[in-house]
Amino acid sequence: MTQIDDILDRLKGQQPELENPDEMLESIMASLPDREGQETRSEESESAKPHLILRVLRTITSAAAILLIGLFIYVNQPVKTEAPRTYDYTTDLPHSSTLENMYTRYLQASQPKPISYTQIKRMLYAKN
């Protein structure tokens, strides 16, 4: 057992003797608040103040949390970039073109252009 437990056990075994029990009883009763008095009203108003403060604080922190989550989502959105336009072949078509003509021009534009040996050489040396 600890020292506090020993002290409490000794106090339980002793019967205290009071020299003036009436004075002690009167001082205890005088320190108690009146049940119907104004002191209970002040206690109620004092206990309502922390609840009001907690409500306001809870509202503010909730709003801040929502804003931070929204900011996190906004910042981490993927960047949308437009693909480069490869539809330049349609600008030089006459107005009387058919879909077949447009499609063949599209296929011609999308096929890779042949590269010469000298261009390949330049590309290899430019990388080094």
The structural domains of the chain, with segments of one domain joined by +, span 97-127
Locate 37 and state its tokens: 């008095």
pLDDT of residue 69: 95
Residue indicated by tokens 């009001």: 52
Torsion of CA 35, 41, 43, 48, to 10 degrees: 140
92 vs 98: CA distance, rounded Å: 13
pLDDT of residue 47: 65
E strands in the chain = none
Angle at 92 between CA 90 and CA 97, to 5 degrees: 65
pLDDT digits (tens, 9 = 90+) for 50-104: 788 899 999 999 999 999 999 999 888 877 776 665 555 555 555 666 778 878 8
pLDDT of residue 68: 96
pLDDT digits (tens, 9 = 90+) for 3-47: 888 888 888 888 777 788 888 888 888 888 877 655 445 555 566
